[in-house]
Structure 1
Amino acid sequence: MKRFLILQLRPERDASDAEYASFLQAGGLEADRTHRIRLDAEPLPEALDPAEYAGVIVGGGPGCVSDAPGEKSSDHARIEAAVLSLIPRVDAGDVPFLGCCYGIGILGAHLGAPVGKGRYGEAVGTADCTLTEAGRADPLLDGMPDRFDAFVGHKEALEALPKGSAHLVSGPNCPYQMVRYRQNIYATQFHPEADASAFEQRIGIYRHHGYFPPDQADALIAMCRASNVTAPRRIIANFVRRYG
Protein backbone atom coordinates (compact mmCIF):
# COMPACT_ATOMS: atom_id res chain seq x y z
CA MET A 1 0.00 0.00 0.00
CA LYS A 2 1.45 3.35 -1.04
CA ARG A 3 2.02 6.02 1.58
CA PHE A 4 0.94 9.64 1.43
CA LEU A 5 3.70 12.25 1.29
CA ILE A 6 3.03 15.11 3.71
CA LEU A 7 5.19 18.19 3.21
CA GLN A 8 5.15 20.76 5.99
CA LEU A 9 6.35 24.33 5.70
CA ARG A 10 5.87 25.63 9.24
CA PRO A 11 9.10 26.41 11.15
CA GLU A 12 7.17 26.50 14.44
CA ARG A 13 7.43 22.94 15.79
CA ASP A 14 4.23 23.05 17.87
CA ALA A 15 2.19 24.27 14.89
CA SER A 16 3.79 21.74 12.56
CA ASP A 17 3.14 18.81 14.90
CA ALA A 18 -0.48 19.87 15.45
CA GLU A 19 -1.03 20.30 11.72
CA TYR A 20 0.37 16.82 11.05
CA ALA A 21 -1.90 15.36 13.74
CA SER A 22 -4.85 17.12 12.10
CA PHE A 23 -4.04 15.59 8.71
CA LEU A 24 -3.86 12.13 10.28
CA GLN A 25 -7.10 12.55 12.19
CA ALA A 26 -9.09 14.11 9.35
CA GLY A 27 -7.88 11.50 6.86
CA GLY A 28 -8.23 8.52 9.18
CA LEU A 29 -4.54 7.81 8.64
CA GLU A 30 -2.00 6.04 10.79
CA ALA A 31 1.45 7.61 10.87
CA ASP A 32 3.00 4.61 9.12
CA ARG A 33 0.84 5.33 6.06
CA THR A 34 2.58 8.68 5.64
CA HIS A 35 6.03 10.00 4.82
CA ARG A 36 6.30 13.27 6.69
CA ILE A 37 8.94 15.82 5.69
CA ARG A 38 9.34 19.02 7.68
CA LEU A 39 11.06 21.21 5.13
CA ASP A 40 12.30 23.63 7.78
CA ALA A 41 14.30 20.80 9.33
CA GLU A 42 15.35 18.59 6.42
CA PRO A 43 15.88 18.97 2.68
CA LEU A 44 13.63 17.50 0.04
CA PRO A 45 15.46 14.42 -1.30
CA GLU A 46 16.66 15.09 -4.85
CA ALA A 47 15.55 11.68 -6.05
CA LEU A 48 12.09 11.91 -4.52
CA ASP A 49 9.43 10.83 -7.04
CA PRO A 50 5.90 12.00 -6.14
CA ALA A 51 4.43 9.29 -8.38
CA GLU A 52 5.67 6.69 -5.88
CA TYR A 53 3.14 7.97 -3.34
CA ALA A 54 -0.62 7.60 -3.10
CA GLY A 55 -0.81 11.38 -3.00
CA VAL A 56 0.96 14.53 -1.86
CA ILE A 57 -0.41 16.88 0.81
CA VAL A 58 1.19 20.28 1.38
CA GLY A 59 0.39 22.13 4.58
CA GLY A 60 0.24 25.83 5.35
CA GLY A 61 2.83 28.23 6.66
CA PRO A 62 3.57 31.85 7.47
CA GLY A 63 5.31 32.63 4.18
CA CYS A 64 3.90 34.24 1.03
CA VAL A 65 4.95 33.34 -2.50
CA SER A 66 4.15 36.91 -3.57
CA ASP A 67 6.80 38.41 -1.28
CA ALA A 68 9.73 39.91 -3.14
CA PRO A 69 12.99 37.93 -2.84
CA GLY A 70 14.45 40.51 -0.49
CA GLU A 71 11.43 40.21 1.81
CA LYS A 72 11.87 36.47 2.36
CA SER A 73 14.06 35.03 5.06
CA SER A 74 16.64 32.51 3.92
CA ASP A 75 14.58 29.71 5.51
CA HIS A 76 11.38 30.88 3.85
CA ALA A 77 13.07 31.09 0.45
CA ARG A 78 14.63 27.64 0.85
CA ILE A 79 11.36 25.97 1.92
CA GLU A 80 9.39 27.61 -0.87
CA ALA A 81 11.98 26.67 -3.49
CA ALA A 82 11.89 23.05 -2.32
CA VAL A 83 8.11 22.80 -2.72
CA LEU A 84 8.13 24.58 -6.07
CA SER A 85 10.80 22.19 -7.33
CA LEU A 86 8.44 19.26 -6.79
CA ILE A 87 5.37 20.72 -8.51
CA PRO A 88 6.56 20.19 -12.12
CA ARG A 89 6.80 16.46 -11.39
CA VAL A 90 3.35 16.49 -9.81
CA ASP A 91 2.02 18.37 -12.84
CA ALA A 92 3.67 16.12 -15.41
CA GLY A 93 2.17 12.98 -13.89
CA ASP A 94 -1.12 14.50 -12.70
CA VAL A 95 -0.11 13.07 -9.31
CA PRO A 96 -2.84 13.37 -6.65
CA PHE A 97 -2.03 16.58 -4.79
CA LEU A 98 -3.77 18.66 -2.15
CA GLY A 99 -2.26 22.01 -1.24
CA CYS A 100 -3.74 23.72 1.82
CA CYS A 101 -3.63 27.54 2.15
CA TYR A 102 0.03 28.21 1.29
CA GLY A 103 -0.38 25.34 -1.17
CA ILE A 104 -2.81 27.28 -3.36
CA GLY A 105 -0.23 30.04 -3.71
CA ILE A 106 2.41 27.45 -4.62
CA LEU A 107 0.14 25.93 -7.28
CA GLY A 108 -0.81 29.35 -8.62
CA ALA A 109 2.83 30.41 -8.86
CA HIS A 110 3.70 27.22 -10.75
CA LEU A 111 0.83 27.78 -13.19
CA GLY A 112 1.67 31.44 -13.76
CA ALA A 113 -1.52 32.76 -12.15
CA PRO A 114 -1.41 36.06 -10.25
CA VAL A 115 -0.97 35.62 -6.50
CA GLY A 116 -0.92 38.76 -4.39
CA LYS A 117 -1.88 40.61 -1.23
CA GLY A 118 -3.84 43.42 -2.84
CA ARG A 119 -7.34 42.00 -3.21
CA TYR A 120 -8.43 38.83 -1.47
CA GLY A 121 -6.55 38.39 1.80
CA GLU A 122 -8.79 37.31 4.70
CA ALA A 123 -8.46 38.02 8.39
CA VAL A 124 -8.22 35.10 10.77
CA GLY A 125 -11.70 33.69 11.23
CA THR A 126 -14.26 31.71 9.29
CA ALA A 127 -15.18 32.07 5.62
CA ASP A 128 -18.60 31.41 4.12
CA CYS A 129 -17.81 28.93 1.34
CA THR A 130 -20.10 27.85 -1.50
CA LEU A 131 -19.72 24.97 -3.93
CA THR A 132 -19.74 25.95 -7.58
CA GLU A 133 -21.44 23.80 -10.21
CA ALA A 134 -18.09 22.15 -10.90
CA GLY A 135 -17.57 21.66 -7.17
CA ARG A 136 -20.88 19.87 -6.74
CA ALA A 137 -19.77 17.36 -9.38
CA ASP A 138 -16.23 16.85 -8.06
CA PRO A 139 -15.49 13.60 -6.19
CA LEU A 140 -13.28 15.32 -3.63
CA LEU A 141 -16.30 17.33 -2.50
CA ASP A 142 -18.63 14.34 -2.29
CA GLY A 143 -20.94 14.67 0.69
CA MET A 144 -20.15 18.35 1.26
CA PRO A 145 -23.03 20.77 1.84
CA ASP A 146 -23.53 23.47 -0.79
CA ARG A 147 -22.50 26.06 1.83
CA PHE A 148 -20.13 25.55 4.73
CA ASP A 149 -17.84 27.48 7.04
CA ALA A 150 -14.07 27.00 6.96
CA PHE A 151 -11.18 28.44 8.92
CA VAL A 152 -9.05 30.99 7.07
CA GLY A 153 -6.31 33.49 7.72
CA HIS A 154 -4.09 34.54 4.82
CA LYS A 155 -2.36 37.66 3.57
CA GLU A 156 -2.22 36.66 -0.10
CA ALA A 157 -4.55 34.81 -2.45
CA LEU A 158 -5.10 33.80 -6.05
CA GLU A 159 -6.29 36.84 -7.96
CA ALA A 160 -7.43 34.92 -11.05
CA LEU A 161 -8.26 31.32 -11.85
CA PRO A 162 -5.17 29.53 -13.20
CA LYS A 163 -5.48 28.65 -16.86
CA GLY A 164 -6.86 25.15 -17.35
CA SER A 165 -8.24 24.94 -13.80
CA ALA A 166 -11.73 24.27 -12.48
CA HIS A 167 -13.19 26.61 -9.87
CA LEU A 168 -14.71 24.37 -7.15
CA VAL A 169 -15.46 26.56 -4.12
CA SER A 170 -16.07 30.29 -3.93
CA GLY A 171 -16.38 32.84 -1.14
CA PRO A 172 -17.69 36.41 -0.88
CA ASN A 173 -14.37 37.92 0.21
CA CYS A 174 -11.97 35.54 -1.53
CA PRO A 175 -13.44 34.02 -4.70
CA TYR A 176 -10.97 31.19 -5.26
CA GLN A 177 -11.36 29.09 -2.13
CA MET A 178 -10.71 25.78 -3.91
CA VAL A 179 -9.52 24.87 -7.39
CA ARG A 180 -8.57 21.76 -9.35
CA TYR A 181 -5.94 21.51 -12.07
CA ARG A 182 -6.00 18.57 -14.46
CA GLN A 183 -7.92 15.72 -12.82
CA ASN A 184 -6.08 15.15 -9.55
CA ILE A 185 -4.28 18.34 -8.50
CA TYR A 186 -6.23 20.32 -5.89
CA ALA A 187 -5.63 23.32 -3.67
CA THR A 188 -7.68 25.12 -1.05
CA GLN A 189 -7.31 28.63 0.34
CA PHE A 190 -8.99 27.58 3.58
CA HIS A 191 -7.60 25.02 6.01
CA PRO A 192 -9.50 21.76 5.43
CA GLU A 193 -7.59 19.91 8.15
CA ALA A 194 -8.17 22.33 11.04
CA ASP A 195 -10.79 21.91 13.72
CA ALA A 196 -11.50 24.55 16.37
CA SER A 197 -8.89 23.21 18.79
CA ALA A 198 -6.11 23.20 16.18
CA PHE A 199 -7.00 26.66 14.92
CA GLU A 200 -7.11 28.02 18.46
CA GLN A 201 -3.56 26.77 18.98
CA ARG A 202 -2.39 28.44 15.75
CA ILE A 203 -3.86 31.74 16.86
CA GLY A 204 -1.67 31.56 19.96
CA ILE A 205 1.44 30.63 17.98
CA TYR A 206 0.99 33.24 15.24
CA ARG A 207 -0.33 36.13 17.31
CA HIS A 208 2.77 38.21 16.48
CA HIS A 209 3.04 37.32 12.78
CA GLY A 210 0.89 40.15 11.42
CA TYR A 211 -2.28 38.19 10.73
CA PHE A 212 -4.23 40.12 13.37
CA PRO A 213 -3.54 42.64 16.16
CA PRO A 214 -2.11 40.64 19.08
CA ASP A 215 -4.69 42.05 21.48
CA GLN A 216 -7.44 40.37 19.42
CA ALA A 217 -6.12 36.85 20.09
CA ASP A 218 -8.51 36.13 22.96
CA ALA A 219 -11.54 37.24 20.95
CA LEU A 220 -10.43 35.06 18.02
CA ILE A 221 -9.99 32.08 20.30
CA ALA A 222 -13.53 32.64 21.60
CA MET A 223 -14.71 32.72 17.97
CA CYS A 224 -13.07 29.34 17.35
CA ARG A 225 -14.74 27.82 20.38
CA ALA A 226 -18.15 29.11 19.26
CA SER A 227 -17.77 28.07 15.61
CA ASN A 228 -19.24 25.06 13.87
CA VAL A 229 -16.49 24.17 11.41
CA THR A 230 -16.66 20.45 10.65
CA ALA A 231 -17.43 19.99 6.94
CA PRO A 232 -13.99 20.87 5.46
CA ARG A 233 -12.34 17.84 7.05
CA ARG A 234 -14.38 15.65 4.71
CA ILE A 235 -12.13 16.88 1.89
CA ILE A 236 -9.10 15.28 3.56
CA ALA A 237 -11.07 12.08 4.15
CA ASN A 238 -12.23 12.02 0.53
CA PHE A 239 -8.68 12.58 -0.71
CA VAL A 240 -7.37 9.64 1.33
CA ARG A 241 -10.30 7.42 0.38
CA ARG A 242 -10.05 8.24 -3.32
CA TYR A 243 -6.32 7.85 -3.74
CA GLY A 244 -5.29 5.58 -0.88
Structure 2
Amino acid sequence: MKRFLLLQLRPEDEVSDDEFEKFLKYGNLSRDEVHRVRMDQGHLPDINLDDYSAVIVGGGPDCVSSDESHKSEAQKNYEPWLHALLDEITRRDFPYLGCCYGLGALTLNRAGRVSKEKYSEPVHGIDVTLTEEGGRDPLLAGLPKMFRAFVGHKEACQKLPESAALLATGEACPVQMIRMGKNVYAVQFHPESDPESFILRVNAYKHLGYFPIEDVQKLIEEIGKETITVPQEILQRFVERYRRSYARH
Protein backbone atom coordinates (compact mmCIF):
# COMPACT_ATOMS: atom_id res chain seq x y z
CA MET A 1 0.00 0.00 0.00
CA LYS A 2 1.30 3.43 -0.93
CA ARG A 3 0.62 6.08 1.67
CA PHE A 4 -0.40 9.70 1.33
CA LEU A 5 2.30 12.18 2.33
CA LEU A 6 0.81 14.95 4.50
CA LEU A 7 3.04 18.00 4.98
CA GLN A 8 2.05 20.36 7.79
CA LEU A 9 3.45 23.70 8.93
CA ARG A 10 1.29 24.81 11.87
CA PRO A 11 3.58 25.30 14.91
CA GLU A 12 0.79 24.99 17.49
CA ASP A 13 0.44 21.35 18.58
CA GLU A 14 -3.30 21.51 19.26
CA VAL A 15 -4.10 23.16 15.94
CA SER A 16 -1.73 20.90 13.99
CA ASP A 17 -3.15 17.77 15.60
CA ASP A 18 -6.70 18.92 14.86
CA GLU A 19 -5.79 19.59 11.23
CA PHE A 20 -4.27 16.12 10.97
CA GLU A 21 -7.37 14.49 12.46
CA LYS A 22 -9.66 16.38 10.09
CA PHE A 23 -7.63 15.35 7.05
CA LEU A 24 -8.12 11.77 8.21
CA LYS A 25 -11.82 12.23 8.91
CA TYR A 26 -12.86 14.09 5.78
CA GLY A 27 -10.41 12.32 3.51
CA ASN A 28 -11.70 8.98 4.79
CA LEU A 29 -8.12 8.01 5.57
CA SER A 30 -6.82 5.62 8.20
CA ARG A 31 -3.71 6.53 10.20
CA ASP A 32 -1.63 3.85 8.53
CA GLU A 33 -2.44 5.37 5.12
CA VAL A 34 -0.75 8.68 6.00
CA HIS A 35 2.88 9.65 6.49
CA ARG A 36 2.63 12.83 8.55
CA VAL A 37 5.54 15.29 8.38
CA ARG A 38 5.46 18.43 10.53
CA MET A 39 7.77 20.68 8.55
CA ASP A 40 7.65 23.26 11.36
CA GLN A 41 9.57 20.89 13.64
CA GLY A 42 12.68 20.84 11.50
CA HIS A 43 13.03 17.17 10.57
CA LEU A 44 12.71 17.04 6.78
CA PRO A 45 13.10 13.46 5.58
CA ASP A 46 14.38 12.32 2.23
CA ILE A 47 11.28 11.77 0.10
CA ASN A 48 10.96 9.28 -2.74
CA LEU A 49 7.67 10.10 -4.46
CA ASP A 50 7.46 6.55 -5.77
CA ASP A 51 6.68 5.48 -2.20
CA TYR A 52 3.48 7.56 -2.09
CA SER A 53 0.06 7.79 -3.69
CA ALA A 54 -0.11 11.59 -3.44
CA VAL A 55 1.17 14.62 -1.54
CA ILE A 56 -1.08 16.94 0.50
CA VAL A 57 0.13 20.26 1.94
CA GLY A 58 -1.88 21.94 4.69
CA GLY A 59 -2.18 25.57 5.73
CA GLY A 60 -0.79 27.66 8.53
CA PRO A 61 0.25 31.14 9.63
CA ASP A 62 3.31 31.31 7.35
CA CYS A 63 3.14 33.36 4.14
CA VAL A 64 5.22 32.50 1.08
CA SER A 65 5.39 36.19 0.15
CA SER A 66 6.75 37.42 3.49
CA ASP A 67 10.09 39.17 3.49
CA GLU A 68 12.88 36.85 4.63
CA SER A 69 13.39 39.00 7.72
CA HIS A 70 9.81 38.23 8.81
CA LYS A 71 9.98 34.47 8.28
CA SER A 72 10.55 32.10 11.18
CA GLU A 73 13.65 29.93 11.23
CA ALA A 74 11.40 26.93 10.67
CA GLN A 75 9.95 28.46 7.50
CA LYS A 76 13.39 29.40 6.19
CA ASN A 77 14.42 25.80 6.81
CA TYR A 78 11.51 23.96 5.19
CA GLU A 79 10.80 26.17 2.17
CA PRO A 80 13.84 25.15 0.07
CA TRP A 81 13.08 21.50 0.85
CA LEU A 82 9.42 21.96 -0.12
CA HIS A 83 10.26 23.79 -3.35
CA ALA A 84 12.64 21.04 -4.41
CA LEU A 85 9.79 18.58 -3.85
CA LEU A 86 7.38 20.81 -5.80
CA ASP A 87 9.86 20.89 -8.68
CA GLU A 88 9.65 17.11 -8.90
CA ILE A 89 5.89 16.99 -8.34
CA THR A 90 5.18 19.37 -11.21
CA ARG A 91 7.78 17.81 -13.50
CA ARG A 92 6.20 14.39 -13.02
CA ASP A 93 2.61 15.62 -12.79
CA PHE A 94 2.49 13.72 -9.50
CA PRO A 95 -0.80 13.83 -7.54
CA TYR A 96 -0.77 16.89 -5.26
CA LEU A 97 -3.33 18.83 -3.26
CA GLY A 98 -2.13 22.13 -1.80
CA CYS A 99 -4.44 23.81 0.71
CA CYS A 100 -4.13 27.57 1.38
CA TYR A 101 -0.36 27.83 2.00
CA GLY A 102 -0.04 24.86 -0.37
CA LEU A 103 -1.63 26.97 -3.13
CA GLY A 104 0.73 29.88 -2.50
CA ALA A 105 3.77 27.61 -2.49
CA LEU A 106 2.77 25.95 -5.77
CA THR A 107 1.98 29.30 -7.43
CA LEU A 108 5.32 30.78 -6.40
CA ASN A 109 7.17 27.64 -7.45
CA ARG A 110 5.68 27.79 -10.95
CA ALA A 111 6.49 31.49 -11.48
CA GLY A 112 3.08 32.88 -10.57
CA ARG A 113 2.82 35.89 -8.26
CA VAL A 114 1.69 35.81 -4.63
CA SER A 115 1.49 38.86 -2.38
CA LYS A 116 -0.56 40.65 0.28
CA GLU A 117 -1.38 43.41 -2.22
CA LYS A 118 -5.04 42.41 -2.61
CA TYR A 119 -7.51 39.52 -2.44
CA SER A 120 -6.90 38.64 1.22
CA GLU A 121 -9.90 37.23 3.09
CA PRO A 122 -10.77 37.23 6.80
CA VAL A 123 -11.53 33.98 8.59
CA HIS A 124 -15.08 33.13 7.52
CA GLY A 125 -17.27 31.18 5.13
CA ILE A 126 -17.59 32.27 1.49
CA ASP A 127 -19.34 31.28 -1.72
CA VAL A 128 -17.05 29.49 -4.18
CA THR A 129 -18.11 29.20 -7.83
CA LEU A 130 -16.84 26.63 -10.30
CA THR A 131 -15.61 27.90 -13.65
CA GLU A 132 -16.54 26.13 -16.90
CA GLU A 133 -13.17 24.39 -16.74
CA GLY A 134 -13.89 23.40 -13.15
CA GLY A 135 -17.23 21.89 -14.08
CA ARG A 136 -15.43 19.64 -16.58
CA ASP A 137 -12.69 18.58 -14.19
CA PRO A 138 -12.96 14.90 -13.12
CA LEU A 139 -12.42 15.83 -9.48
CA LEU A 140 -15.31 18.32 -9.49
CA ALA A 141 -17.77 16.88 -12.01
CA GLY A 142 -21.33 16.74 -10.68
CA LEU A 143 -20.71 19.05 -7.72
CA PRO A 144 -22.86 22.16 -7.21
CA LYS A 145 -21.71 25.10 -9.31
CA MET A 146 -21.65 27.23 -6.14
CA PHE A 147 -20.82 26.02 -2.63
CA ARG A 148 -19.73 27.31 0.76
CA ALA A 149 -16.15 27.00 1.99
CA PHE A 150 -13.97 28.26 4.84
CA VAL A 151 -11.14 30.68 4.06
CA GLY A 152 -8.73 32.90 5.96
CA HIS A 153 -5.54 34.26 4.39
CA LYS A 154 -3.41 37.41 4.35
CA GLU A 155 -1.77 36.73 0.98
CA ALA A 156 -3.26 35.55 -2.30
CA CYS A 157 -2.43 34.68 -5.87
CA GLN A 158 -2.11 37.89 -7.90
CA LYS A 159 -1.09 36.20 -11.15
CA LEU A 160 -1.54 32.55 -12.05
CA PRO A 161 1.29 30.48 -13.47
CA GLU A 162 0.90 30.25 -17.25
CA SER A 163 0.32 26.50 -17.05
CA ALA A 164 -2.46 26.71 -14.44
CA ALA A 165 -6.16 26.20 -15.18
CA LEU A 166 -8.58 28.15 -12.97
CA LEU A 167 -11.21 25.73 -11.63
CA ALA A 168 -13.02 27.82 -9.01
CA THR A 169 -13.30 31.47 -8.09
CA GLY A 170 -14.71 33.74 -5.38
CA GLU A 171 -16.01 37.29 -5.14
CA ALA A 172 -13.26 38.75 -2.94
CA CYS A 173 -10.47 36.41 -4.05
CA PRO A 174 -10.66 35.26 -7.69
CA VAL A 175 -8.32 32.27 -7.38
CA GLN A 176 -9.94 29.59 -5.22
CA MET A 177 -8.87 26.40 -7.01
CA ILE A 178 -6.40 25.58 -9.77
CA ARG A 179 -5.03 22.56 -11.60
CA MET A 180 -1.71 22.09 -13.32
CA GLY A 181 -1.27 19.18 -15.69
CA LYS A 182 -3.77 16.43 -14.90
CA ASN A 183 -2.96 15.64 -11.27
CA VAL A 184 -1.61 18.75 -9.50
CA TYR A 185 -4.34 20.64 -7.63
CA ALA A 186 -4.41 23.50 -5.15
CA VAL A 187 -7.17 25.33 -3.27
CA GLN A 188 -7.30 28.61 -1.39
CA PHE A 189 -10.08 27.32 0.86
CA HIS A 190 -9.76 24.59 3.48
CA PRO A 191 -11.24 21.23 2.40
CA GLU A 192 -10.26 19.61 5.70
CA SER A 193 -12.02 22.10 7.92
CA ASP A 194 -15.31 22.31 9.79
CA PRO A 195 -16.74 24.91 12.21
CA GLU A 196 -15.02 23.28 15.20
CA SER A 197 -11.61 23.50 13.52
CA PHE A 198 -12.08 27.05 12.33
CA ILE A 199 -13.15 28.25 15.77
CA LEU A 200 -9.99 26.65 17.17
CA ARG A 201 -7.93 28.55 14.58
CA VAL A 202 -9.69 31.85 15.32
CA ASN A 203 -8.60 31.54 18.94
CA ALA A 204 -5.08 30.39 18.04
CA TYR A 205 -4.42 33.13 15.47
CA LYS A 206 -6.42 36.05 16.86
CA HIS A 207 -3.27 38.13 17.41
CA LEU A 208 -1.75 37.52 13.95
CA GLY A 209 -3.62 40.15 11.96
CA TYR A 210 -6.16 38.03 10.12
CA PHE A 211 -9.00 40.09 11.61
CA PRO A 212 -9.56 42.81 14.25
CA ILE A 213 -9.27 41.33 17.73
CA GLU A 214 -12.64 42.83 18.67
CA ASP A 215 -14.32 40.68 15.99
CA VAL A 216 -13.42 37.34 17.60
CA GLN A 217 -16.77 36.58 19.20
CA LYS A 218 -18.71 37.68 16.11
CA LEU A 219 -16.55 35.46 13.89
CA ILE A 220 -17.02 32.48 16.20
CA GLU A 221 -20.78 32.92 16.11
CA GLU A 222 -20.84 33.24 12.30
CA ILE A 223 -18.56 30.23 11.80
CA GLY A 224 -20.71 28.13 14.10
CA LYS A 225 -23.74 28.71 11.86
CA GLU A 226 -22.05 27.44 8.69
CA THR A 227 -22.91 24.12 7.06
CA ILE A 228 -20.03 23.24 4.77
CA THR A 229 -19.77 19.89 2.99
CA VAL A 230 -18.61 20.25 -0.64
CA PRO A 231 -14.95 21.10 0.14
CA GLN A 232 -14.77 17.96 2.26
CA GLU A 233 -16.21 15.96 -0.63
CA ILE A 234 -13.48 17.39 -2.88
CA LEU A 235 -10.86 16.15 -0.41
CA GLN A 236 -12.46 12.71 -0.27
CA ARG A 237 -12.68 12.54 -4.07
CA PHE A 238 -8.99 13.42 -4.34
CA VAL A 239 -8.08 10.64 -1.91
CA GLU A 240 -10.32 8.07 -3.59
CA ARG A 241 -9.12 8.96 -7.06
CA TYR A 242 -5.45 8.46 -6.30
CA ARG A 243 -5.87 5.67 -3.78
CA ARG A 244 -7.61 3.59 -6.47
CA SER A 245 -5.27 4.68 -9.24
CA TYR A 246 -2.09 3.73 -7.43
CA ALA A 247 -3.54 0.56 -5.91
CA ARG A 248 -3.52 -0.93 -9.41
CA HIS A 249 0.23 -0.54 -9.86
Shorter-chain TM-score category? Answer: over 0.9
Amino acid at match of 1:13: D
What is the alpha-carbon distance in structure 2 between the residues aligned to residue 66 and residue 78 of structure 1? 15
Amino acid at match of 2:14: D
Map of 1:1-244 to 2, 5 A cutoff?
1-46=1-46, 48-244=47-243
Structure 1 runs of 4+ aligned residues shifted over 6 Å read none
* 1:14 Cα offset (Å): 0.8
Amino acid at match of 2:199: E
* 1:168 Cα offset (Å): 0.2
What is the alpha-carbon distance in structure 2 between the residues aligned to residue 220 and residue 143 of structure 1? 31
Provide Cα deviations, 1:120-139, integer angstroms capped at 9, x if missing partner. Answer: 11111112110001111112
The answer on whether the counterparts of 1:7 and 1:39 sit within 8 Å (CA) in structure 2 is: yes
What is the alpha-carbon distance in structure 2 between the residues aligned to residue 15 and residue 80 of structure 1? 21
Amino acid at match of 2:223: C
Higher mean C-alpha displacement, 213-222 vs 12-21: 213-222
Count of residues in Structure 1 that have an aligned counterpart in Structure 2 = 243
What TM-score does the superposition give when structure 2 sets the normalisation length? 0.95
* 1:64 Cα offset (Å): 0.7
* 1:213 Cα offset (Å): 1.6
Amino acid at match of 2:134: G
Unaligned runs of 5+ in 2: 244-249
- Counting aligned pairs with the same residue, the percent is 46
What is the alpha-carbon distance in structure 2 between the residues aligned to residue 50 and residue 181 of structure 1? 18
Unaligned runs of 5+ in 1: none
What is the alpha-carbon distance in structure 2 between the residues aligned to residue 3 and residue 87 of structure 1? 18
Task: State the superposition RMSD in angstroms.
Answer: 1.1
What is the alpha-carbon distance in structure 2 between the residues aligned to residue 167 and residue 51 of structure 1? 28
* 1:80 Cα offset (Å): 2.5
What is the alpha-carbon distance in structure 2 between the residues aligned to residue 122 and residue 51 of structure 1? 36
